[in-house]
Amino acid sequence: MPIVAIAQIKVGINRRPIKQQKVIELIESIQANGLLNPITVDQNLTLIAGLHRLTACKMLGLEKIECNIINCADSAHARLAEIDENLIRSELDALERAELWLERDRILDSLQLRAKPGDNQYTYKSSKGSETISPPPKTTFELAQAVGYTERTFQQGKQIAKSILPEVKEAIKGTALAKSTTALLKVARAGSKEREEAEKAEKAIKEAQLQQEELQHKARLAEAARTKQRELQLLTLRNVAAQKEAKLKKKPRKELSPLTREITAQDVLNTQPGDQWLLARHLVYCGDTASDEFIRCLPSHAALAIATPSTIWQHDYLVDEARIVAVLRSAGHIHQFCTQQRMPFQYELLIGSIYVALFSYSALTEPQQPIAIEGVEGIVAFLISLYSNAGNFVIAPFIGHGEALICCERMGRICFTGDLESQRVSQAIARWQQWTGKQVNRGN
């Protein structure tokens, strides 16, 4: 069975939400017995089956994992394989199953593997008239048989997935109603007249949009410009240290300024407000992390921000800089904190003795089981593993003991961190240097 580096495995955006308790149980099993069942990936190392197993291995700090590699013709066939794997899971509720049925049907239709009403055995004859196209498209009855349900149940499931609005689905998920086909059908059929009117209007809008070629052209230009801007900013951030070194090498030795000499441990200890340090791909800022100067250093699409504040909170801006903001607080302060912030609160977790408040503009799935992790660094590692992927940006506006910085270094993320206390900044940089054995560079 092939062994693959975990960092090479790609996880698609359509994966089902992670169940925390299952990950914890898998961690205990892997520690005791190793990985009993390999994950499944396609030939491009895109995950097909085993997200919980992969997550557990990541949290254990494993670098490689056993894989079953299957060949898929393209991304559509890979997604079909992923859906079919999910459909055999016994823990799927009626709503989840219905959504997968509908998506599977649409993919088959796009691949011309879905028979249309009125088709018969003569429809799929080749142009020669004697040979039948292989494999022939499947009817609804055949598709229902393939997933082990009656045609009526299959059709009802697709009606549920197609007719219930996304925001209503979010309200249903995680409740007992998500398991009841009868209840879901009632919801799906409610407002059928209004749905028809909306679909008719949306179709008219779509047809009008197709005629607006000039607007579409401008939209493509804007998107291309934004993409280029993002690429240039990321490239500048990652290469700024190398660029500075290259410029300094062009100067004669006798003209070297204090900024061109090698950074020493004493330089780090003498960190002053306003200093910026580049630690490989990470940026460390000494000063007020609620200031415009620090905010200008941040990327525009961070995956996660983790805050462990010990001073006055002025960091509501984080929710506009990161997809998810996690704030660690003790029991006596979490409720007051959540009610006083303008950030969109989702829910809070109790991990060990620390409360974690989660904020996001997007709905987040709340774990239903306790999470058995102790210590701030363990909690930080758990949050980074859960809410970001390798190469993502993580913001930590309170550097603490460098917990987020070290975890990002270990897990392949890029950290933007800082603190008002210069001593904390120096200690965190020194800890990173000791852990990595690498040198730091000035960023300003």
Q: How far is CA 98 from CA 179, 248, 265, in A?
A: 11, 62, 60
Asked whether the predicted pLDDT for residue 244 surpasses 70, the reply is: no
Relative to beta strand 322-329, strand 302-307 is: parallel
Torsion angles phi and psi, residue 225, rounded to 5: -65, -40
Sequence letter at residue 325: V
How far, in Å, CA of 26 to CA of 399, rounded? 31
Residues 77, 107 share a domain:
yes
- Band (pLDDT 50/70/90 cuts) for residue 19 is confident
Asked if residues 263 and 249 have their Cβ atoms less than 8 Å apart, the reply is: no
Relative to beta strand 322-329, strand 414-419 is: unpaired
Relative to beta strand 64-70, strand 3-5 is: antiparallel
Considering 195, 227, 245, which residue would you say is the last residue of a domain?
A: 195
Return the structure tokens found at 266: 């004493």
Domain-located, residue 230: yes
The neighbouring-strand residues paired with 322 are 302
What is the per-residue pLDDT across 28-72, written as a single tens digit (0 to 9) for each?
Answer: 999 999 998 898 888 889 888 888 899 999 999 999 999 988 887
Residues 306, 174 share a domain:
no
Asked whether the predicted pLDDT for residue 120 surpasses 80, the reply is: no
Looking at every residue in the chain, the average pLDDT score rounds to 82
Domain-located, residue 207: no
Map residue 129 onto helix, strand or coil: coil
Among 74, 76, 98, CA closest to 86: 98
At residue 234, the pLDDT reads 74
Residues 182, 35 share a domain:
yes
At residue 203, the pLDDT reads 87
Least confident span in 138-152, 173-187, 410-424: 138-152
Q: What residue numbers bound the domain in which 218 lies? A: 213-255
Among 276, 275, 282, CA closest to 393: 282
What is the per-residue pLDDT across 278-326, written as a single tens digit (0 to 9) for each?
Answer: 999 999 999 999 999 999 999 888 999 999 866 678 999 999 999 999 9
At residue 168, the pLDDT reads 93
CATH of the domain at 413: 3.40.50.150
Owner of token pair 């070290």: 406
Residues 119, 38 share a domain:
yes
How far, in Å, CA of 69 to CA of 405, rounded? 34
Domain-located, residue 182: yes
Domain-located, residue 208: no
Residues 280, 316 share a domain:
yes
Kindly state the greatest CA–CA separation across the chain.
Answer: 87
Least confident span in 59-73, 146-160, 420-434: 146-160
> DSSP per residue over 296-339, as a string?
HHS-S-EEEEEE---S----TTHHHHEEEEEEEE-TTTHHHHHH
Among 3, 31, 19, 190, CA closest to 96: 19
Residues 327, 178 share a domain:
no
Q: Which helix (H) or strand (E) holds 346?
A: strand 345-351
Asked if residues 443 and 283 have their Cβ atoms less than 8 Å apart, the reply is: yes
Give Cα 159 to chain centroid, integer Å: 29
Residues 221, 187 share a domain:
no
CA dihedral 90, 94, 99, 101 (to 10 degrees): 70
- Please enumerate in sequence order all residues whose Cβ is within 8 A of that of 247, keeping only pairs 6 or more positions apart, or say none: none
How far, in Å, CA of 346 to CA of 39, rounded? 31
At residue 292, the pLDDT reads 92
Domain-located, residue 110: yes
Residues 219, 95 share a domain:
no
Residues 64, 18 share a domain:
yes
Asked if residues 401 and 421 have their Cβ atoms less than 8 Å apart, the reply is: no
- Band (pLDDT 50/70/90 cuts) for residue 329 is confident
Domain-located, residue 200: no
CATH of the domain at 65: 3.90.1530.10
How far, in Å, CA of 40 to CA of 51, rounded? 9
Counting the structural domains of the chain, the total is: 3
Asked if residues 327 and 335 have their Cβ atoms less than 8 Å apart, the reply is: no
- Band (pLDDT 50/70/90 cuts) for residue 74 is confident
Torsion angles phi and psi, residue 174, rounded to 5: 85, 0
- Band (pLDDT 50/70/90 cuts) for residue 131 is very low
CA angle 148, 150, 153 (to 5 degrees): 105
- Band (pLDDT 50/70/90 cuts) for residue 121 is very low
- Please enumerate in sequence order all residues whose Cβ is within 8 A of that of 222, keeping only pairs 6 or more positions apart, or say none: none
Domain-located, residue 10: yes
Residues 309, 187 share a domain:
no
Considering 225, 255, 285, which residue would you say is the last residue of a domain?
A: 255
Considering 255, 272, 288, which residue would you say is the last residue of a domain?
A: 255
Mean pLDDT of 129-142: 56
Return the structure tokens found at 105: 């049907």
Mean pLDDT of 255-283: 74
Give the orientation angle of helix 94-110 with respect to helix 181-189, to 10 degrees. Answer: 60
Residues 156, 19 share a domain:
yes
Going by the DSSP 8-state scheme, the letter that residue 371 receives in this structure is B
Which has more pLDDT, 209 or 425? 425
How far, in Å, CA of 409 to CA of 438, rounded? 12
Residues 251, 270 share a domain:
no
Domain-located, residue 280: yes
How far, in Å, CA of 361 to CA of 349, rounded? 18
Locate all alpha helices (DSSP H) within 8-119, ordered by sequence. Answer: 20-33, 51-59, 75-87, 94-110
